[in-house]
Amino acid sequence: MQSLCLSQCIRSLWAPAQTNLLLKLGKVQKYVNCQLQHSKTMENKPWALISEIGALGYPEELIDIMMKRFHVVSHKDFLQNLQLYSPKVQVLFCWNNSPAVEPSLLRLLPSLKVVANGGAGINHLDVPYINSLGVKVTNTPGVVSSATADIALGLLLASARDIVTSHQIAVDPNTTSLPTSMMGVDVTGSTMGIVGMGNIGYKIAQRGRGFEMKILYYNRRRRNVKEEQAVGARYCQSLDELLKDSDFVVLAVNLTPETTGLIGHRELSLMRSTATLVNISRGQVVDQDALVDALRSGTIRGAALDVTHPEPLPRDHPLLSLPNVVITTHIGTNTMNTCHRMVESMINNSLAVLTGRPIPNEVRAHEPDRQKNTGLIGHRELSLMRSTATLVNISRGQVVDQDALVDALRSGTIRGAALDVTHPEPLPRDHPLLSLPNVVITTHIGTNTMNTCHRMVESMINNSLAVLTGQPIPNEVRAQ
């Protein structure tokens, strides 16, 4: 009996202890599993190449964000350990144009899948070449717009109200009295002309509206009426019109072959003598020698530049010593919040590439300018073809000079032509191409199969739903 009571007593004491032990063992196992999972995740993280950390590269807190999703190696460490890192790197994060994405570096990255650029401008990247290697290019256009628009207004105000000069006088140890004759120009009620009305340009217009400014803009494509009315903007048919009518000209264009040297001697001469030029795009958009002349001669009142070419300017460059110039150090996107969002966007773009998902902000090589292709095949080109050759056109009718084609077909310069496209469509019933025996013409049926049409409609639906639900847009077309 005593033995039975002792046994029951032991069981009553052991059961809770056993339960606690099992709970503890369960927690330990859960912790171990968690650590193993974390270790596995760490092993599976892709490798990314960055510039540097610190003053010449990324702030450390931005690196911390990257390291949650990537193994990160600096450019310096990469070059010192090529054998280790070269096969591993799949992502190249380009920040402030660094590291320089040149063929010499790309040759060292056989596993590279994406160059993720921080910022909207990609003029420092040879996108066609990078794409030719099977590597995607992405940027971060939306996240930089507000900060860049802010700096545009900041520069405009600094120049208009002589804020920099006023500060220098205020802190000068030799100042004993404040000048009363230093007069700026009014911003409120003035006219601001914006060259380039993309995301950044539009946000500049929104800020200008807050200063009761009249807003003019010049852009390759006109904004819709609703967007214009929202900021009180008036579209100018030409750049000349905008330059003549503006008190402040703000440059917010992408750097392209067409915008390089966009503002030169002629354009500056069209501006008002009381006008100020503000540049937050790229230094190469302005002919800096012409700008120096205009500032020295009083052709324009002043300039406020967040960008120059090169950066920084040589220390003896005349722009640095002119009293009517304000220059900042390309700080348009330099706020911590904007940089956080840029890095997050770079990460999202890169992971989309690596996982095969739609890429939020892919930059593709520019398609050839349609105007440049108009009349691509004319008398000269047809005369270079063999007399036994056939011309097949499935692009657009305007690509071929049809009068020249008729002559070539009639004269035997070429054997024949096969066209799924003409201009216009259909051709006039008396057009000579319709009666030539060595021409086959179809009715622009290149995509006309039921399967293709099904897929086209599905793609249209997916694109539209992505816009309506705020998802990444699989096939967005942006203004070039």
Q: Is 282 a catalytic residue?
A: yes
What is the DSSP secondary-structure string of 174-207? T--S--S-------TT-EEEEE--SHHHHHHHHH
Cα–Cα dist 155/378, whole Å: 51
Instruction: Report which of 268, 314, 271 is spatially closest to residue 291, judged by C-alpha positions.
Output: 268
Instruction: Specify the DSSP element, H or E, that contains 249.
Output: strand 248-251
Q: What's at 335, amino acid-wise? A: T
Q: Is 311 a catalytic residue?
A: yes
Q: Which two tokens stand for residue 179?
A: 């000048």
Phi-psi region at 302: left, alpha or beta (left = phi > 0; alpha = psi -120 to 50): beta
The catalytic position among 71, 207, 223, 282 is 282
State the DSSP code for 259: T
The catalytic position among 311, 344, 381, 415 is 311
Cα–Cα dist 134/113, whole Å: 7
Q: Which two tokens stand for residue 190?
A: 């003035």
The catalytic position among 223, 301, 330, 341 is 330
φ and ψ at 141, to 5 degrees?
A: -65, -45
Q: 115: which strand partners?
A: 92, 137
Half-sphere exposure of 357 (CA within 13 A, CB side): 10
- Asked if residue 356 lies in contact with residue 474, where contact means CB atoms within 8 angstroms, the answer is no
Cα–Cα dist 216/230, whole Å: 13
Positions of E strands within 37-141:
47-50, 71-74, 89-94, 114-117, 136-138
Q: 116: which strand partners?
A: 93, 138
Supply the residues annotated as catalytic: 282, 311, 330
